[in-house]
């Protein structure tokens, strides 16, 4: 944490996106960052890092959103990718039941290094109502089993609930770090 001369907070948090390939991780981050896209670094691990500035009532937060581009066969890399994360988003595709169940593969790898950080479960492609397979109750069972702090359904295509995902996670991170009184603008 850095406090500037004006006593303003300048917080930086690393947020990791993980989940099966094709569930919509890159799409959600692109939707969230529209007009705010600053950098897109392809690392050797196959992760892209995006930066988003968020105004707070007492300063600002810089979110580094790490989009794990790696295929499932590279999931053993997720623990090094998750190092230093302040929060995480596990994303699945509401039209793909396996992508929800595969939390079994991803979650332990992430939790190895980022224990006790706020994690949110996100069901994507909410706009594909006709193809929807995962029921809300199925997702809530996974949420409770793996102790996610919230479950949100969204669509990067329509934009529905996309901002909410990141705002909710940031609020939970702020609260976990002792800044529960800080508000987003
Ligand atoms: P990633 O591999 O998890 O990064 O997934 P992508 O973001 O590359 O998305 C995989 C495919 O799903 C692409 O064809 C996207 O256009 C599509 N997609 C992503 N999000 C949505 C969504 O909210 N609605 C619909 N209909 N398609 C989506
Ligand atoms: Mg991607």
Cα–Cα distances (Å) from 146 to 67, 119, 149, in that order, read 21, 9, 9
Q: How do the domains of the chain map onto residue ranges?
A: 2-176
Region 95-105 average pLDDT = 95
Measured by CA distance, the residue closest to atom 27 of ligand 1 is 125
Q: Please give the CATH topology (third level) of the domain spanning 2-176.
A: Rossmann fold (3.40.50)
- In a mutational test of the pocket of ligand 1, which residue from 17, 24, 70, 100 has the highest number of ligand atoms less than 8 Å from its CB? 24
Measured by CA distance, the residue closest to atom 25 of ligand 1 is 125
Calculate what percentage of the chain has a pLDDT beyond 90: 63
Q: What pLDDT is recorded for position 42?
A: 47
Q: What pLDDT is recorded for position 76?
A: 78
Give ligand 1 pocket residues (Cβ under 6 A): 21-27, 124-125, 127-128, 155-157
Q: What pLDDT is recorded for position 1?
A: 58
Q: For 79, phi and psi rounded to 5 degrees?
A: -70, -35
Give the number of the ligand closest to the Cα of residue 127. 1
Measured by CA distance, the residue closest to atom 5 of ligand 1 is 24
Calculate what percentage of the chain has a pLDDT beyond 70: 89
DSSP string over 35-103: TT----EE-TTSEEEEEEEEEETTEEEEEEEEEE---GGGGGGHHHHSTT-SEEEEEEETT-HHHHHTH
Give the number of the ligand closest to the Cα of residue 162. 1
């Amino acid at each position: 944490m850095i406090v500037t001369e004006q006593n303003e907070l300048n917080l930086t948090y690393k947020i990791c996106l993980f989940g099966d390939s094709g569930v919509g991780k890159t799409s959600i981050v692109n939707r969230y960052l529209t007009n705010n896209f600053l950098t897109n670094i392809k690392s050797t691990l196959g992760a892209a890092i995006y930066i988003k500035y968020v105004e707070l009532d007492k300063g600002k937060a810089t979110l580094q959103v790490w989009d794990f581009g790696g295929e499932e066969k590279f999931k053993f890399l997720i623990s090094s990718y998750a190092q230093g994360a302040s929060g995480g988003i596990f994303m699945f595709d509401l039209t793909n039941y396996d992508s929800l169940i595969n939390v079994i593969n991803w979650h332990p790898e992430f939790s190895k290094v980022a224990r006790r950080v706020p994690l949110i479960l996100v069901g994507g492609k909410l706009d594909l109502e006709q193809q929807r397979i995962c029921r809300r109750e199925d997702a809530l069972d996974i949420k409770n089993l793996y102790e996610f702090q919230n479950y949100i359904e969204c669509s990067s295509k329509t934009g529905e609930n996309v901002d909410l995902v990141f705002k909710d996670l940031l609020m939970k991170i702020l609260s976990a770090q002792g800044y529960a009184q800080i508000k987003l603008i």
